[in-house]
Every structure is written in structure tokens, then in C-alpha cells.
Amino acid sequence: MSDRQHLLSFRWPIDLRLTVMSHGWAQLAPWEWDRERLRLARSERIDGSVGTIAAEQTAPHSLIVAWEGFSEADGPEILRRVRRWVSAEWDAALAVAALRAELPEEAALIELGGGRILRCSNFYEDFVKTVLTINTSWSATLRTSAALVAEPGGGAFPSPEAVLDYGEARLRERAKLGFRAPTVIAATRRMLDDGVIDMHGNGDEGRLGHDYLASLKGIGPYAAAHCGLLLHDFSRIPIDTVAVADLRERFGQDPAEFLAGRAQWGAYLALGYKLSRLRAKLAGGA
């Protein structure tokens, strides 16, 4: 890494390891996670240039952010992206208050710096990667994400316009998106036309509610809920085959039974569930 770096400080503890463990995003290109160094890095494109941004944790209330391939003038944009990765602006106090009575250990994890779901540098990448998980294996999701970075992205995750220029046929055949290709193309075009994402993939998060997301062609309840989770809407659990199996194994319940018995978690239903899975991972030595 270059000598360009900045100490990014937070008002409350943010645990980079717990954030990475929140779900599988750090395994998808262009992310790179070094769990020994507690260092998260990825390739990015800023104003046509591709470089690397890395965040390393040495203290609970801060990250050291370094970059290579970008100028000092790019610093504010780089720090904005890193802050989005770890949801630095999210105030966890209401979540702690809502969950403490029923889930004291999960609430304690939030106070230690957990409770944040790793996010990409912009909403569009989160959206497309969510589509890449629909009705497929995780190994296939790894391959399709890497393919998007390699070709239409040119080393970084592609912008909405790059995806549209690449086209449905190449997404389907060369990037191996299969039936997800028309979903990605149609949703990209509509979100741009509606002005809810810009040319760089940044989202107008106030307009990306569950009803809007669910109205996009090919986006069902799971994908809409997962995108909502990454926008801090924790009111719906993204139910996929992994969640169904987990609920059966840990609680002996199907999703409907589980949801019916947890109304008291309210607006933090999905966060409570995510933290319960994280706590199980930690107990298992993950």
C-alpha cells in the first residue's frame, strides 16, 4: 500500500471482524479479507482510475484507511465509501434498546461493535450481488461476481452503465448469470430511469423502500428483504434455503412459526435473527 492513509474515527465502536462475519459479501470479488491482520481491501474505480482501498482495524473506535492508485484529492470519496462499508452513520442505540430484553447477548454484540452488515461501496453493487444469490449455489455466486469484475468491470465492480453496455446476452453467456441476466438489465434500466440510482451506482436510499424494490421485475420477497437489510430496514428477514435450514436446525421451526413468535423484536426482527446466527458462529469458533 502507498503512504496515503487516514485515521477514520467513529462515535461508537465498530468491529470490522464482526461486520465481515455478518454475511458472505467479503468472499465476493473484488473484496479481499485478511482475518489475521483484520484488513479489508478491494479494487475500486474513481473517475476512470482503478486502484485499491484498504481498511485495517487497530482500535475499537477507528480504522486506518490506506489507498493506492488514487490521489490525495480522492481522499474524501474514499473515506465516504469506507464509511458505507461499515455503516458508520448508523446509530445502534435504538436497536440495543429494542433487543436487550429478549436478546441480551445479541444486544451486547452491538455494543461491542457488531450489528453492522457489510455493505459494498454503493447500493447498486449490493443490489446486483443480491440478485446473484437468487436460486443458485454460493460457488456460482462467487464465479458470477468474479466474472462481472473481470470483464464489464475491468478490475472493479461495474457501474450501471457498464452493465447495460455489456448487455443481456453477454451477461447470460459469458458472465454466466443465466436467467438472472434479464433481471439485472431490466432493474438497472428502471432504477436509472426512475432516478433512484445515479451513473455511479449510488442510491437515493430514501426512495429505495421495500415496495419499490419488490416492484422490480424478478425481485421477490427474499431479494427485496435482503436489499432492505443493507439499507438498515431490519423489519423483514430475507428467507432463503439457508435461513430455512438454520431455523429448522436451531429453533425447530419453519419461517412462519419463527416470525409469529418474535413480534416483540419489531423493527429489528432481521437484525435480531442475524445476530443470533452470528453468535452461533462465534460459539462454534468461527
**Rg for the chain, CA atoms, rounded:** 19
CATH level 2 (architecture), domain 4-90: 2-Layer Sandwich (3.30)
Whether the per-residue pLDDT at 280 is higher than 60: the answer is yes
Provide mean pLDDT across the span 25-31: 98
pLDDT reported for residue 4: 86
Provide mean pLDDT across the span 9-29: 97
| 220/20 Cα distance (integer angstroms) | 25
Q: Which of 29, 31, 28, 49 is nearest to 39 (CA)?
A: 31
**pLDDT bracket for residue 285 (50, 70, 90):** confident
Q: Which of 160, 217, 159, 220 is nearest to 192 (CA)?
A: 160
Neighbours of 266 (CB within 10 A): 12
Percent of the chain with pLDDT over 70: 99
Q: Which CATH number fits domain 123-229: 3.40.50.1100, 1.10.340.30, 1.10.3720.10, 2.30.33.40?
A: 1.10.340.30
Q: Which of 82, 108, 109 is nearest to 21 (CA)?
A: 109
Task: State how far the alpha carbon of 259 is from the alpha carbons of 106, 143, 237, 254, 272, in Å.
Answer: 17, 33, 9, 9, 11
Per-residue pLDDT tens over the stretch 217-242: 999 999 999 999 999 999 999 999 99
Domain definitions of the chain by residue range: 4-90, 123-229
- Name which residue leads in pLDDT, 39 or 263: 39
Whether the per-residue pLDDT at 263 is higher than 90: the answer is no
| 27/33 Cα distance (integer angstroms) | 8
- Supply 204's cell numbers: 437515493
Provide mean pLDDT across the span 184-213: 98
Alpha helices in 100-207 (DSSP H): 104-111, 123-131, 138-150, 160-173, 180-194
Whether the per-residue pLDDT at 3 is higher than 80: the answer is no
pLDDT reported for residue 17: 98
Q: Output the average pLDDT for the chain.
A: 96
Q: Is 23 helix (H, G, I), strand (E, B) or coil?
A: coil
pLDDT reported for residue 286: 65
Cβ-count burial of 284 within 10 angstroms (0-12 exposed, 13-18 middle, 19+ buried)? exposed
Q: Is 271 helix (H, G, I), strand (E, B) or coil?
A: helix
Whether the per-residue pLDDT at 33 is higher than 70: the answer is yes
Per-residue pLDDT tens over the stretch 89-101: 999 999 999 999 9
Whether the per-residue pLDDT at 43 is higher than 90: the answer is yes
CB 196 within 8 Å of CB 207: yes
Percent of the chain with pLDDT over 90: 96
Per-residue pLDDT tens over the stretch 98-114: 999 999 999 999 999 99
> Is 0.85 surpassed by the pTM of this model?
yes
